[in-house]
């Protein structure tokens, strides 16, 4: 009797402790969609999210109709990060802790330049001898930035920037390349590159191996958009279809939402969850989440109860490393605007119960040892 009562108490206590732990971590108990608004204008798009989901970056129209890079938190709302002296800017990537933001901004000459923003200061990362540059992603610690620039020969080139030095990552025999994603430690870079036959190919770059052609799903082109934390999983688009690539499986077609096209734009830290956009059977663009077990799901259907009639999640552009938070943009029927969104998927109740039972098991094991 005492043992059974003690075990029952342990289960109840452990589940309560799990709930307390979740509450302490600042997690909500229900999924939610937060529309992030604008900077006074008509549109906003989100492109990056920090590890804990607390910081979102992107760009939005201000009251003057200018595109401006923003950094959003629940406490501050949407913060305008300014420019390099020109009229426009856009934030496209953020570090794990949310303190470093990268993107592009126009300078006083009206030229677009890659920037790295930290502590209120926007740094111009320069070019490879040309006139413009764009930053698309940043490593977890904020020290490595990747993107695209124009070199002295007026060629578009993928770059990797670190400690003030911009490195040209080259091509596969063509004249153009662009880097769109970087691994957590900054050692693996992915993007799109032109080969000698002037075909666009997805690439994976490392210092030791250089630029690796990841192939394609058919047709003549492919492009990589993001990479897992350890650099082993690459996602993107090939011949109009979303793909997931690993060294073992090669390029895997992730399918569509019964429509004619899809594009993968973000991947979780472990490479198991992919997000992007796809056409449904009606030809409508819809944000998706893909998993190995569930395949491709329409986030509008999965989280239909969270949306006002007429609203729609169009693009899922990034996912937090732990898979919980997804950002992108769509149509907010309440404001009648195209707006950036933050989707908090929250662990399923079954997962919370499993956590509680797991704690109970540990407690039971400890009791037996005593």
Both 311 and 362 in a single domain?
Answer: no
Check residue 10 and give its pLDDT: 31
How much is the CA Rg of the chain, to the nearest whole Å?
Answer: 22
Residues 36 and 22 in one domain: no
* 19 and 100, same domain (yes or no): no
* 77 and 106 share one domain: yes
Do 91 and 160 reside in the same domain of the chain?
Answer: yes
Nearest to 105 by CA among 59, 74, 168: 59
Q: How many domains does the chain have?
A: 2
**Residue whose C-alpha is closest to residue 191's, from 167, 222, 156, 224:** 224
What phi, psi does 351 have (nearest 5°)? -70, -40
Same domain, 99 and 112: yes
The domain in which residue 8 lies consists of: 1-27+350-370
Structure confidence at residue 1 (pLDDT): 29
Task: For residue 219, give the CATH number of its domain.
Answer: 2.120.10.30
325-332 and 337-344 beta bridge pairing: antiparallel
- Residue 89 shares a structural domain with residue 218: yes
Q: What is the pLDDT of residue 218?
A: 84
Give the number of other CB atoms < 10 A from CB of residue 363: 18
In this structure, the answer to whether residues 212 and 360 fall within a common structural domain is no
Predicted pLDDT at 363: 34
Residues 202 and 312 in one domain: yes
Query: Is the same domain home to 311 and 368?
Result: no
Could you tell me if 215 and 356 lie in one domain? no
What sign has the CA pseudo-torsion 65, 71, 76, 81?
negative
Question: For residue 196, what is the DSSP state?
Answer: T
pLDDT at 114: 98
Name the stretches of the chain with pLDDT < 50. Answer: 1-28, 348-370
Tens digit of each residue's pLDDT (9 = 90 or more) over 52-109: 999 999 999 999 999 999 999 999 999 999 999 999 999 999 999 999 999 999 999 9
Backbone angles phi, psi at 11, to 5 degrees: -65, -50
> By three-state DSSP, how is residue 258 classified?
strand
Are 75 and 94 in the same domain? Answer: yes
């Amino acid at each position: 009797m005492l043992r059974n009562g003690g075990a029952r108490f342990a289960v109840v206590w452990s589940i309560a402790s799990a709930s307390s732990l979740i509450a302490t971590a600042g997690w909500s108990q229900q999924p939610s969609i937060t529309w992030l608004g604008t900077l006074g204008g008509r549109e906003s798009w989100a492109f990056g999210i920090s590890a804990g989901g607390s910081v979102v970056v992107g760009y939005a129209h201000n009251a003057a109709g200018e595109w401006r890079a923003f950094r959003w938190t629940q406490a501050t709302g949407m913060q305008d990060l300014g420019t390099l002296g020109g009229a426009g800017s856009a934030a496209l990537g953020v570090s794990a802790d949310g303190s470093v933001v990268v993107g592009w901004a126009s300078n006083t000459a009206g030229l677009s330049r890659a920037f790295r923003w930290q502590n209120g200061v926007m740094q111009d990362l320069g070019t490879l001898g040309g006139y413009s540059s764009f930053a698309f992603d940043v490593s977890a610690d904020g020290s490595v930035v990747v993107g695209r620039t124009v070199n002295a020969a007026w060629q578009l080139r993928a770059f990797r920037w670190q400690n003030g030095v911009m490195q040209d990552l080259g091509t596969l025999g063509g004249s153009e390349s662009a880097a769109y994603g970087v691994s957590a430690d900054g050692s693996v870079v992915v993007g799109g590159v032109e080969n000698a036959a002037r075909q666009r190919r997805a690439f994976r770059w490392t210092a030791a191996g250089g630029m690796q052609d990841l192939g394609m799903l058919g047709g003549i082109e492919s492009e990589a958009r993001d990479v897992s934390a350890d650099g082993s999983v690459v996602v993107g688009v090939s011949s109009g279809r979303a793909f997931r690539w690993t060294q073992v499986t090669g390029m895997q077609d992730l399918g569509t939402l019964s429509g004619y096209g899809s594009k993968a734009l973000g991947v979780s830290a472990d490479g198991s969850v992919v997000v992007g956009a796809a056409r449904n059977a009606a030809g409508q663009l819809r944000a998706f989440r893909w998993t190995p077990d569930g395949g491709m799901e329409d986030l509008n259907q999965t989280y239909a109860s969270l949306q006002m009639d007429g609203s729609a999640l169009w693009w899922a552009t990034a996912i937090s490393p732990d898979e919980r938070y997804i950002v992108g943009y769509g149509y907010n029927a309440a404001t009648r605007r195209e707006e950036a969104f933050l989707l908090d998927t929250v662990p399923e109740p079954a997962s919370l119960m499993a956590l509680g039972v797991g704690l109970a098991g540990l407690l039971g094991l400890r009791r037996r040892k005593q």
